[in-house]
Homo-oligomer: A and B are copies of this chain.
Amino acid sequence: MAVNDQPNAGVGSGGVRQRSRASIERRILEAAESVFAEAGFNGATTAEIARRAAIPKANLHYYFNTKEELYQQVLTGIVSTWLHTADEITADADPARALAHYITAKIELAREQPIPSRVFANEIIHGAPHLGSYLGTELRAWVDAKAKVIRGWIAAGKMREIDPKHLLFMIWASTQTYADFASQISAVLGKEQLSPQDYKAVARQVTEIILRGCGLTPPAQ
């Protein structure tokens, strides 16, 4: 029997165990997230993850058979979080408002959840060896769909003619740099970390530059 089969599956009264299992798995995943972000997949050790989760290493391997499986779950969690950040980019939306909302949301995410972002960035930098076909299938389809929306905006004369996909890459880069390269930005600015006001100013400036660059007028603050 596989050690990770759902215990008490379908048992209505068996809630305590399930809650406990979910709780400890979440604790392990959070610990893993931070260790993977700091050291990458290769540098991360199950011992360190177990230490941060405050459990013996053998117990960690009871919940997650291999380090690879743990890493996969972390990546999956990040990806599923990210898929719905651009929901406002739709055919009938106002381009300026939709893009401004997207950029602001991405900067917010960089501020609130920099750690998963770094795990993902690390994975991409090393050629995405653990992501399987995700980039070329799901993410590609997502980008194709959003690009189609933006091309629709352009065709309707709502914005200047630009390449939609490279615009998306530019938005990703300009926003995620505040999560992925935070150590560089902090050091260069001489600040331990950016304040909420800093992030707000960043969101405003990035939004302004990109919208004006697309021939749009940024919405009033």
Minimal Cβ-Cβ distance residue in B for A208: B213
Instruction: Indicate whether A125 sits within 8 Å of B135 (C-beta atoms), given known contacts A177-B172, A209-B167.
Output: no
Interface string of A39-64 (1 = CB under 8 A from B): 11111000000000000000000000
**Roughly how many angstroms separate A127 CA and B184 CA in the complex, as a whole number?**
8
Instruction: Note all chain B residues with C-beta closer than 8 A to A37.
Output: 125-126
Interface pair A121/B181, CB less than 8 Å apart: yes
For A212, the chain B residues whose CB sits under 8 A away are: 212-213, 215
Instruction: List the B residue with the shortest CB-CB distance to A137.
Output: B187
Distance A213 CA – B41 CA, assembled complex (angstroms): 38
B-facing residues in A164-201 (Cβ within 8 Å)? 165-167, 169-170, 172-174, 176-178, 180-181, 183-185, 187-190, 201
A125 CB contacts on chain B under 8 angstroms: 37, 118, 121-122, 125, 180-181, 183
Copy tally for this chain in the complex stands at 2
Q: How far is the CA of A176 from the CA of B40 in the complex (A)?
A: 20
A170 vs B122: C-alpha distance when bound (angstroms): 19
- Cβ contact within 8 Å between B213 and A124: no
